[in-house]
Structure 1
Amino acid sequence: MDLSSYYHLIFISLALTLSTVIFLITQSKSKYKTRQRLPPGPPGWPIVGNLLQIANSGKPFFQHVRELLPKYGPIFTLKMGSRTMIVVSSAHLAHELLIEKGQLFASRPPETPTRTVFSCDKFTVNAALYGPVWRSLRRNMVQNGLSNTRLKEFKNVRDVALDKLVEKIKAEAQKENGLVYVLKNARFAVFCILLNMCFGLEMSEETVEKIDHMMKEVLITVSPRIDDFLPILSPLFSKQRKEAAAVRKKQIETLRPYIEQRRAILRAGLASDPTATPFSYLDTLFDLPIEGRRSGPTEPEIVTLCSEYLNGGTDTTATAIEWAIGRLIESPFMQTRLVDEIRAVVGARPVREADLDNMPYLHAFVKELLRKHPPTYLSLTHAVTEPATLGGYDIPTGCNVELFLPGISEDPKLWTNPENFDPERFLSGGEDADITGVRGIRMIPFGAGRRICPGLSMATIHVNLLIARLVQEFEWRAFPEGGNIDFTEKLEFTVVMKNSLRAKVIPRVY
């Protein structure tokens, strides 16, 4: 052990000792306070609670949730250092949380110091506290950035990106003896679409890769650290805070030229750059009125909002495509049925957006995909605006309320054979589900209620269109030939396949 590590251990020991003393003093005074009735949960250690049990297990967090559900039921508490986490995993509790008491549970808990740097103190649609800033940002994104009318304006952008994706896969397959990586290619295509929708600019492949690399760096930087749960240890992480500040600076410097380029085009008139799109999400941000503020977003805030737009729709969609191709390889019958439906609707020409409405099996397949493989297993964290109750338990302000989606979409009380991947359940099976949660909660891959994902419509278009085009253009087979698909999960930015899917493709002949 080097000297630096030795001193770090001494510091941690002293910090935990001091924390224990403070904890015991606080506990001795607690008899004078009204005791809160929190949901049950596993026992933990003083100060750290369940944090070390989970952090040192080597398992993804969602696996812990799966294991705790049978013992503690559909609502339980985890003490994660200084944070209290309440996990909810049933349809009736989700309905109480998101619909019946939606306004009470519509806020967000305090962010970590690192996340605060990147969110400009919660100045994003997803992170903002429930209030005027959130209303301004969400209204703008939904009405001006992601409305059906705006989405249709980018139809040609999607068509071009899909054509490029097909050529990219063909080139990779030719070079690699028919083998391609699914997630990497899907992610690149989706990111290209979102960059164009965000900035309204045509970008080279090199530029796309540069921005993509920077965005991944941001996501890695904001990943949870132990000092996020034990702030008393924050002096040990000064190096990481400096690194985060450097990444934030790089993020601003990377996106600033494209923000200024778009601003210059708008000032000169769109005719000044024939390659620019008539509209972009960025256009809505330059002079966006914010309730309670005299001025619109600052440049760092614009960078943050553009980054949110890009990150929110990239990994989630690409992850869905990887799981979809895995399921189609596993079931040649599903793949054949999907191909037959596509051919019956469009013949030999490429699938386009307008064709999707005439493909019921595709829609059933995608709905089953989102039921069985939601991109994230825990929806974005909720918090109460004032002390509340849920399922008869107390929910204090400041705690993290986490919604475990598979607990709903895999509930045998709601679904027939929920462990099976079966698109037929939405056709002849007689089962159905409103993924928005408006007509009841059975599966909510995009959340529900006031904080439902604003990109729901865009995501479903992208997932349906990408799957249709990839299946139309290629036959997908396992690698090695005849092997089984490994559906083991792991947590990255989303829940992806533990072993990134590499598949064999054979171009279809028409």
Structure 2
Amino acid sequence: MDFSSYYHLIFISLAILLITTLSFGFIFTQNNSSSSSKSKVKSSSRFGERRTLPPGPPGWPIVGNLFQVANSGKYFFEYVRDLKPKYGPIFTLKMGSRTLIIVSSAELAHEALIEKGQVFATRPAETPTRGIFSCDKFTVNAATYGPVWRSLRKNMVQNGLSSSRLKEFKGVRNVAMDTFIERIKAEAEKDPNGVVYVLKNARFAVFTILLSMCFGVHMSEETIDKIDHTLKEVLITVNPRIDDFLPILSLFFSKQRKEALEVRRKQIETLRPFIEQRRAILRAGVGSDPTAMQFSYLDTLFEVKVEGRNSGPNEPEIVTLCSEFINGGTDTTATAVEWAVARLIENPEIQERMYNEIRSTVGTRPVEEADLDKMPYLHAFVKELLRKHPPTYFSLTHAVTEPATLGGYHIPTGCNVELFLPGISEDPKLWKNPENFDPERFLTGGEDADITGVREVKMIPFGAGRRVCPGLSMATIHVNLLIARLVQEFEWRAFPENSKVDFTEKLEFTVIMKNPLRAKIIPRV
């Protein structure tokens, strides 16, 4: 979430209007005033005892902490990071009509996601705009904990992202990787300094792979760019708005709702031809089209049985599920690759060691997926990369299926449980010198971490427990393979020469580099 710039002036004027109109009869909010003065809320239990919310900063009537966040001039993750030393590993932010419980310790994450995983396995209510694009929570990530979620997740994991299915797309990945390298070479040749942009090239490569996996057809670069533009519009449109937290203001955003409906129409119209094309291919037999792939994720959506429903997904729902599959794995992977190259430039000794491992493993032929398991240093590098630079700083929002406790505090239904991942992966109680980027910690340093959180919670870049990211295996394959090919083909240097890499962060769907990385490449001989 980024509240620092979006409709900033409207935020202030509406805040004044709202508070002036509605404040009479309300007492200034004193709950959550410090870590020692704890919020009290009425229990819904038949005994009527009072239960305690986690502490947090004081807020205003009606709006709570919403405008404090908006006016802080910081990204939401920066605001949370600043509050953690004062309020501890669990605290509350009241954001208009929504209550956010911020969790930032391994112990509490383990309690919520593993020990009490079933209770913390659902999602809070969608915002009206997100509901338009999720078909009222008909997606793997957004669905409430229940039969729809079980059906969709089982289909995606077993029929779309299983190890056997991933192997079927080995050829697609190899072609995409070769194209990726050629695009970088061509861009460097056009630049007098041999400089390239990392993120946009990595993003195109991953997006191409996921489109092929989703629709089972080959596409031109022009078509790929068109779909990419449309799906980016969707991501921009579902960004948080002030009326998501203060529904009373929804009348002021009727224009934005119309725009959202138009983007949704465009999304459906853009993807519909490929859905119809795949239906036709399957009816005629895959062999009837020599350019078609034997399998696609879309094939499974035509046949998926959803518990509690007499029919499969309709066309808008299929569009939603395809968009989720593509968007879910694109920016997260591409962002990781950009941070990886930045770390390689900053640490040339790491880059050299990785290149030597690759060269000793495969010689001069291109790295393939089967080679990755023979490269322990590459795996250590990627694990450290995900520790320092998780794709997002908050896992997807959790909610409880029934009133629960966490760390001794009351967690009511309907609130947002937000896991702040750096609070775990940067915890000095869990890691030696956590501020350092050091892949060696996973080899001879005696440190380790199960990134799924099954054995223990020390870093969970893909979440953990029942709602762990279903694309974890695919994402790690793509990240490892992209980095290996980049190091195998090129030596990466800072641009301008001898300059320092700027590691300032920026929130844009994922946490990316504020200044897009431009790097000088020298092709390997």
**Same fold by TM (over 0.5)?**
yes
Instruction: State the partner residue of 2:353.
Output: 337
Instruction: State the partner residue of 1:179.
Output: 195
Instruction: State the partner residue of 1:227.
Output: 243
- Taking the aligned partners of 1:85 and 1:8, their CA distance within structure 2 comes to 19
Instruction: State the partner residue of 1:431.
Output: 447
- Taking the aligned partners of 1:210 and 1:93, their CA distance within structure 2 comes to 43
Aligned residue type for 1:68: L
- Taking the aligned partners of 1:460 and 1:45, their CA distance within structure 2 comes to 44
Aligned residue type for 1:288: V
CA contact (8 A) 2:197 2:517 kept: yes
SS in structure 2 of the partner of residue 401 of structure 1: strand
2:377 aligns with one of 361, 380, 386: 361
The answer to whether 1:101 aligns with 2:100 is no
State the Cα distance separating 1:470 from its structure 2 match: 0.6
Correspondences of 1:356-395 after superposition (within 5 Å): 356-395=372-411
State the Cα distance separating 1:21 from its structure 2 match: 4.4
- Taking the aligned partners of 2:212 and 2:151, their CA distance within structure 1 comes to 23
Q: Structure 2 vs 1, CA of residues 26 and 87 (structure 1 numbering), >3 Å: closer, same or farther?
A: closer
Q: Deviations over 1:453-493 (max 9, x none)?
A: 00000000000000000110111100001100011111110
Instruction: State the partner residue of 1:204.
Output: 220
CA contact (8 A) 2:42 2:51 kept: no
Q: Structure 2 vs 1, CA of residues 420 and 25 (structure 1 numbering), >3 Å: closer, same or farther?
A: closer
State the Cα distance separating 1:9 from its structure 2 match: 8.9
CA contact (8 A) 2:331 2:510 kept: yes
Aligned residue type for 2:279: R
SS in structure 1 of the partner of residue 345 of structure 2: helix
Correspondences of 1:33-432 after superposition (within 5 Å): 35-177=50-192, 178-432=194-448
State the Cα distance separating 1:12 from its structure 2 match: 6.4
SS in structure 2 of the partner of residue 286 of structure 1: helix
Aligned residue type for 2:515: N
TM-score using structure 2 length: 0.93
SS in structure 2 of the partner of residue 285 of structure 1: helix
CA contact (8 A) 2:129 2:238 kept: yes
What stretches of structure 1 of length at least 5 have no aligned partner? none
Q: How many matched pairs?
A: 504
- Taking the aligned partners of 1:322 and 1:13, their CA distance within structure 2 comes to 42
The answer to whether 1:447 aligns with 2:463 is yes
- Taking the aligned partners of 1:502 and 1:124, their CA distance within structure 2 comes to 36
- Taking the aligned partners of 1:6 and 1:369, their CA distance within structure 2 comes to 38
- Taking the aligned partners of 1:59 and 1:402, their CA distance within structure 2 comes to 18
Q: Structure 2 vs 1, CA of residues 369 and 339 (structure 1 numbering), >3 Å: closer, same or farther?
A: same
Instruction: State the partner residue of 2:36.
Output: none
State the Cα distance separating 1:168 from its structure 2 match: 0.3
CA contact (8 A) 2:29 2:61 kept: no
State the Cα distance separating 1:35 from its structure 2 match: 3.7
Q: Deviations over 1:13-52 (max 9, x none)?
A: 554444434756999xx88975431000011111111110
SS in structure 1 of the partner of residue 405 of structure 2: strand
Aligned residue type for 1:242: K
Moved over 2 A (4+): 5-27, 30-36
- Taking the aligned partners of 1:484 and 1:316, their CA distance within structure 2 comes to 24
Q: Deviations over 1:201-235 (max 9, x none)?
A: 10000000000000110000000001100111110
- Taking the aligned partners of 2:435 and 2:12, their CA distance within structure 1 comes to 46
Q: Structure 2 vs 1, CA of residues 31 and 446 (structure 1 numbering), >3 Å: closer, same or farther?
A: closer
Instruction: State the partner residue of 2:497.
Output: 481
Q: Deviations over 1:316-354 (max 9, x none)?
A: 000000000000000110000010000001111110111
SS in structure 2 of the partner of residue 122 of structure 1: coil
Instruction: State the partner residue of 1:494.
Output: 510
CA contact (8 A) 1:15 1:233 kept: no
SS in structure 1 of the partner of residue 111 of structure 2: helix
What stretches of structure 2 of length at least 5 have no aligned partner? 1-7, 31-40
- Taking the aligned partners of 1:6 and 1:89, their CA distance within structure 2 comes to 31
SS in structure 1 of the partner of residue 302 of structure 2: coil
CA contact (8 A) 2:28 2:60 kept: no
SS in structure 2 of the partner of residue 49 of structure 1: coil
SS in structure 2 of the partner of residue 304 of structure 1: helix
- Taking the aligned partners of 2:248 and 2:65, their CA distance within structure 1 comes to 17
- Taking the aligned partners of 1:125 and 1:56, their CA distance within structure 2 comes to 34
- Taking the aligned partners of 1:384 and 1:463, their CA distance within structure 2 comes to 32
Q: Structure 2 vs 1, CA of residues 236 and 416 (structure 1 numbering), >3 Å: closer, same or farther?
A: same
- Taking the aligned partners of 1:49 and 1:463, their CA distance within structure 2 comes to 40
State the Cα distance separating 1:109 from its structure 2 match: 0.4
Instruction: State the partner residue of 2:23.
Output: 20
Q: Deviations over 1:371-405 (max 9, x none)?
A: 11000010000000010000000000000000011
TM-score using structure 1 length: 0.96
**Percent of aligned pairs with the same amino acid:** 78
- Taking the aligned partners of 1:64 and 1:415, their CA distance within structure 2 comes to 23
SS in structure 2 of the partner of residue 196 of structure 1: helix
CA contact (8 A) 2:19 2:61 kept: no
- Taking the aligned partners of 1:293 and 1:81, their CA distance within structure 2 comes to 35
RMSD: 2.0
Q: Structure 2 vs 1, CA of residues 224 and 108 (structure 1 numbering), >3 Å: closer, same or farther?
A: same
SS in structure 2 of the partner of residue 278 of structure 1: coil
SS in structure 2 of the partner of residue 36 of structure 1: strand
